[in-house]
A and B are shown apart, each in its own frame.
Chain A
Amino acid sequence: MDSPEQIKARVEAALPGVQLELRLNPAVPAESSLVVGPAYAVAVARFLRDDPALRLDYCSNVTGVDWLDATVKEKVKTRRRVAGEEQEVEETIERKRPGYLEVVYHLYSVALRHGPVVLRQRTRNRFESVQVASLTPVWRSCEFQEREVFDLFGVVFHGHPDLRRILMWDQFQDFPMRKDYVEPDDYEYEPTPHDKILDKARRHYPTGGAA
């Protein structure tokens, strides 16, 4: 199978003007992913599915990721005059990264027996601009999994044929897998609480519920 760089080049050649970004994964598995903008997501997905060299005909997994607002530290090398001499200095720059929600698709080719290619979509923020394009028209197997991401993360899939909650009940109002989800305060006594449960135990039984 082509490397992610080659796939990116092929997609860009086939779809001029496409918003596609390659995110390299520095970890050992080195599973790099392609981040696609919502306007081009369906076109890119169709290309990946129909391209004779890729034929990614099977979307095995759709999952969501919640990225909170964060300060990102970056090390930048700059040239600067230090004590009258021009030197290369490493500087740490902090910048604020607004939070967003991300949807990750793992694509395989059953026909050519390769994969996965990781495709990602991002929402603009975590509050009102949470739309991404649904890839259910391209891979039918996305339908329930996109519903699950909608249910648990609150990502709205534009173009999904049947976007309803799938695990929680319809009247439920929160998104439980988001990192700022507050669960119902219904702690009940248990004999050996630990970690986060111990905090809850101390709050509910301040005089010895942890014992």
Chain B
Amino acid sequence: MNEGLRSELSKQGVFTTTLQELYNWGRSNSVWPLNFGLACCAIEMIAASMARFDISRFGSEVFRPSPRQADLMIVAGTVTKKMAPLVVRLYNQMPAPKYVIAMGACAISGGPFKQGYNVLKGIDRYLPVDVHIPGCPPRPEALLHALITLQEKMRGEPLAGPAPARHADPSAPGEYPVPAYGPYDLTPAKNDELWRPAPLPRGE
């Protein structure tokens, strides 16, 4: 059914949908985040869940304390190298479909600690991040915007076909290797299959 016929039918009062749309509509409006915070961004995440900003308007108020019941990991705060393996393990324990929002300068790039020795230069070295939020810390509105962006992404995800959603793709990994504590750094220092350094702007 093409879009023209569909809009014509809806004008006549006939509602049509597909299983994929219905399924994506349902799950995108009940994204259950994992209830954990790493640093000060978590305070903004808490503020977003409180009455003034009220993340429950978008169906995401059910913060789950267990990764087994969560759909969304909000990496809210500085990921130290000591914490990174535990964050990856939590992600691995979440059931698919699962999504990651990297919230704040530290979680997306290391932030002010980027040149230090003990902070990960972004959680996207180990996890597939769906939405990045800049800011230090981002306002609750920014988190809500990220959630809406994620919902739009989820609604557009095909469940079958040549490029399906990650959870519907049997070849996509559901778990990612947990880095080990090395004598000087995490080993490996990044997941090469997931993350490569950005090319230089002048094409060096």
State the A residues within 8 Å of B (CB). 167-174, 176, 181, 183-184, 186, 188-191, 196-197, 200, 205, 207-209, 211
Q: What residues of chain B lie closer than 8 Å to A184, measured between beta carbons?
A: 117, 184-185, 189
Residue pair A174, B184 in contact (C-beta under 8 Å): yes
Give the secondary structure class of B's interface.
Answer: loop
How would residues 188 to 204 of chain B score, 1 for a CB under 8 Å from any chain A CB and 0 otherwise? 01000000011011101
> How long is the Cα–Cα vector from A199 to B198 in the complex, in angstroms?
20
Question: Can you list 17 A-B pairs, Cβ within 8 angstroms, ordered by A?
Answer: A167-B82, A168-B82, A168-B118, A169-B181, A170-B181, A172-B183, A184-B117, A184-B184, A186-B121, A188-B121, A188-B197, A189-B198, A205-B204, A208-B204, A209-B200, A211-B201, A211-B202
In the A-B complex, the 9 residue pairs with the closest CB atoms: A183-B117, A173-B183, A184-B185, A169-B181, A171-B181, A169-B82, A176-B117, A207-B204, A184-B184
Q: Contact check, A189 vs B184: say whether CB atoms are below 8 A apart.
A: no
Tell me, in angstroms, the Cα distance from A52 to B165 when the chains sit together: 73
The answer to the question of B162 belonging to the interface, with a C-beta cut-off of 8 Å to chain A, is no
A172 in contact with B184 given A186-B189, A209-B204 (CB within 8 Å): yes
Q: How far is the CB of A108 from chain B (nearest CB, A)?
A: 29
B125 to chain A, nearest CB (A): 10
Chain B residue with Cβ nearest A204: B197
Q: Is the interface of A mostly helix, strand, loop or mixed?
A: loop
Contact string against A for B residues 42-68, beta-carbon threshold 8 Å, 1 for contact and 0 otherwise: 000000000000000000000000000
Select A189's contact among B182, B189, B200, beta carbons within 8 Å.
B200
B183: which A residues are within 8 A, CB to CB? 171-174
How far, in whole Å, are A50 and B25 apart by their CA atoms in the complex?
Answer: 70
Kindly state the interface size class of chain B when it binds its partner: 20 to 34
Contacts of A196 in B (CB 8 A): 115
| Residues from 94 to 131 in B contacting A, C-beta threshold 8 Å | 114-118, 121
Complex CA gap A208/B185 in Å reads 27
Give the interface centre of A188, A205, A208, A211 by most chain B CB atoms within 10 Å: A188
CB distance from B83 to the nearest CB of A (A): 10
On whether the beta carbons of A171 and B202 are closer than 8 Å, the reply is no
List of B residues within 8 angstroms of A183 by Cβ: 116-117
Pick from B185, B201, B202: contact of A186, CB below 8 A: B185
Contact A172 B204 (CB under 8 A): no
**Min distance, Cβ A175 to any Cβ of chain B, angstroms:** 11
